[in-house]
Amino acid sequence: MKDACEARGLEFVKKATYKWYGHHVGDYPMPKGFTKADLGKCEYAIRVPGKKDAYEIGVVKRRDGEEGYTFLYDFYSGGKGLVGKLFGDDPLGKSEFQKWNTTYPQRGDTPIRPLMQEYEAQVAEKFARQRVGEGFEFKREYEDNGDLRVRVFRETSGGGGGEHGGTL
Amino acid sequence: MEEIIITIPRNPNKPTTIEVNGVKGEGCKDLTRPLEQALGAVKDDKPTEEMYERPLKQRDQQRESV
């Protein structure tokens, strides 16, 4: 996650609290297993470097019975610069932010997606790097719509598909 | 060529997919299992025709034993 944050121009830090409005006004439902008292507390935080007023993301253990972590963050008023940064500074990110900013009700899972996409790409590339010794190479590709593809591949010699009409 | 394609959509409502090409038999599942574990729970698994083909080595072993 630290690498994914760096790739998206964000900072991942060990921290017990994250910055937000500070008061839950009940306009959006709480994530499953969390109460108002949990807001503002975290195990790690994700912040926007150079924007000291921007709200932060709290990274917390899930409480819905599944393993792993989830995010708590305040996206009201664009999280004072956080949400725009999550979407990204590129043209696609800017247009997605504009659309999100004028869509009601706004959805908290949408701004986090580019970061999660980067996280999944980092996981895929780590998997690929562990296979370089087996002759695999890897490449990251982007589609115009923002979809991301990691191709992990190796040339195989002979065999394989010959008898079946061939994949080689 | 053996190839694993991991497609990670920008749209949060679409799932990440892992496609394996050029790997015959159940070997494709062994190849991608660590990746699936790292990315999260598998919601759907659609085997390709190649998964039902036996790897060449396996076919040769069978031929020798006949």
Over chain B (66 residues), the average pLDDT of each successive run of 10 is 94 92 81 86 68 57 47
DSSP class per residue in B3-55: EEEEEE-SSTTSPPEEEEES--TTHHHHHHHHHHHHH---------GGGGSPP
Q: Which chain B residues have a beta carbon less than 8 Å from that of A146?
A: 10
- Please give chain A's pLDDT, 168 residues, in tens: 999 999 999 999 999 999 999 999 888 888 899 999 999 999 999 999 999 999 999 999 999 998 899 999 999 999 999 999 999 999 999 999 999 999 988 888 899 999 999 999 999 999 999 999 999 999 999 999 999 999 999 998 754 433 323 333
Residue A6 tokens read as 């760096």
Residue A134's contacts (CB-CB under 8 Å, 6 or more residues apart) are A154
Place of tokens 């982007």: A142
Give the pLDDT of residue A95: 95
Cβ-in-10-Å burial (0-12, 13-18, 19+) of A128 comes to buried
Rounded Cα distance between A130 and B22, Å, is 20
Average pLDDT of chain B to the nearest whole number? 77
Interface residues of chain B, partner chain A, Cβ below 8 Å: 1-12, 16, 21-22, 24, 34-35, 38-41, 50, 53, 55-57, 59
Rounded Cα distance between A86 and A38, Å, is 23
ipTM attached to this prediction: 0.84
Contact A150 B9 (CB under 8 A): no
CA-based nearest residue in chain B for residue A113: B12
> Shortest Cα distance from B55 to chain A (angstroms)?
7
Give the pLDDT of residue A156: 83
Give the pLDDT of residue B28: 76
Residues in chain A: 168
